[in-house]
Structure 1
Amino acid sequence: MDVRPQQYNLNIVESSLFIRRQSKPRIITKHDDEWESINLALGTMFCSRCGEGFDPEDKIVNSNGELWHPDCFVCAQCFRRFPDGTFYEFDGRKYCEHDFHVLFAPCCAKCGEFIIGRVIKAMNANWHPRCFRCQMCEKELADLGFIKNQGRSLCHDCNAKVKAEGLGKYMCQKCHGVIDDKPLRFRGEVYHPYHFNCSACGVELNSDAREVKSRPGYAANDMNQLYCLRCHDKMGIPICGACRRPIEERVVTALGKHWHVEHFVCAKCEKPFLGHRHYEKKGLAYCETHYHQLFGNLCFICNQVITGDVVTALNKAWCQHHFACALCDQRLNPKSKFYEFDTKPACKKCYEKLPVELRKRLKKMHDQAAKRTMSSPVPNP
């Protein structure tokens, strides 16, 4: 199934729900100047809610020319008076702020809060402008538009990056185009090489260009510089045998090559030596542990490199002070009489304390293992 990203223009509207927000309506009493004129017309005035008239002693609520009894001027949903006289009007009915939000105001798909004012309608949801962001880089999309890519809202730059990754290619950080050929790496990013020129001779660069940190005599600022291969070779800067990049700081020289400190590592575990001793074998460097593991002896008990005399028994190697009875921990020497018990040595005294039936089974297993070893074909040298 071919799923392709789609480009959308944002639907940005002012919420039509917020029709009118009233400040405190005016309450007219007999102490007001216009009370006398209103009092004369009371016979023709009626409450906008209950339809009844007003008595001379009644307080009257005047809201945009409409008159109400104070007890009638209430929220159409909860029938309570408006806090501080503030209300919202929708379809000719008045609501307190809480009920208006619950009934009509859209909710933001990200923060869950009610949206008053500018509404972003996208991805089948409503959003505050500040909440509708690229799902990769968190850039606000309200004024930029977006690309819908596999259910995600992405800015144009991030969509191009995803597209490039899907093709197994890099995206140039300067022009944001896909890099079809080998990229140029500079200051931790990748670029088309033709965007740059050599800092020394000015020639247009290719992917073989070298990045060099600013040093006295080579650059006039603190920024890294790019050089073509020819100009770089004239500078005499050593090249790392691992990453093939210039080495401007500490240099490790080993195996006939130069290395960044962090790139001179054990060929087995790939941990940097960081100044510790290394062992060389067939053109490769190893840490002490893995050199002896691959080419030397590790003690069966402590798993450490055996630096002194090696005791070989039961097809294993042992430090001399670790070669002991597995049952009583009494130290053994290569000339001591011992038996195999659970792949470990057991002294004669402890072995003879084992049940007779167990010793018979152990002997039988040992004899069968010996026969299998003798019957196995000997590999050609």
Structure 2
Amino acid sequence: MAAVTPAQSSAARNRLPPMRLQSLNDQTESPLFQRRRNAQDKDDYPLFDISAIENGFDGTGMSLGNAVCRRCGDGFDMQEQIINSNGEVWHTHCFTCAQCFQPFPEGTFYEYEGRKYCEHDFRVLFAPSCGKCGEFISGRVIKAMNASWHPQCFLCQLCGICMADSGFVKNAGRALCRECNAKEKAKGTGKYVCHKCHDLIEINGLIKYRGEAYHPYHFNCHSCGVELNTEAREKDLELYCLRCHDKMGIPICGACRRPIEERVVHALGKTWHVEHFVCAKCEKPFLGTRHYEKKGLAYCEIHYHQLFGNICFVCNSIINGDVFSAFNKAWCVHHFACSICDRKMSQKTKFFEFDQKPVCKNCYDKFPGELKKRLKKAYEEQGKK
């Protein structure tokens, strides 16, 4: 065995043990960072992980003697665990959130303007909150109407459709989809909104197809393929130009002279739209009710009897039985009475005319003499005519 000299013994006692730097954990990226990186999440702010130092300072140009903590400025003990982040070293107890001074959960932090924050404090301080649900927004942010929104929360304020990818229109301080905006603009103008392009349709510039309004140039004739105009017609759920439509033997309305595409009324030797077959006097559609014909015209029951039949002067009803006629008027037999005392009269009762109304003899005799003379004179002059 070789002898140990005192000098060698002293050197052995002063020799420092090899420096051992422990890693913070077994992975260099936090689970949250890995999930976001794999999802290619495009946050508005950079996300960093905590990199543990697996090796010592050898080869880094940094020696233990000149390494100091980034926060407190103190050095490190030989056996102390340290943290290296972005080329800077920290005591483990110094590597904390700049706001709450707590360790970073799962080793994840956000860096902003040279300071590191835990996820919670970073969101509170810098992350936008949704204008609808009020929650913090991670990932894609919709900025509109002076606010930030989750894509799924940015909805049309009328119909509720999501507008994150389709765009929106600002209308009276509201975010609306294009269709709702067009409908709002059409209110009060008497104009329609095209069901296809959602633009306004000028007056007399539309066609109706399956109950909806359209610009005619969105369609072509089902038969000849020509681009349609406002004269297009619908038949069997297909659209045709006027020329092709007229070749199909479709009846023509006797009132508007336009083809009849739905229900047809046959009357007076012609065909009619249901809504165009009306009374010649009041112009109300018959809609399947009874009508009366006279000299090539159709009348409702009331106006037919008013013009050509008998309507009671008192009850204004049609007189179906016996009629009492006088002074170019007609009465039901039981409604013919003195217009002054209301006493019932018959055809045998003597009566006089006063203001085109019947007056019994008793009431007439009570008239002043001068009035009776004027009435008598009027009767005589009328008789001469």
In terms of Rg, which structure is larger?
2
Question: What is the TM-score of this pair, normalised by structure 2?
Answer: 0.49
State the structure with bigger RCO (CA 8 A, min sep 6), 1 or 2: 1
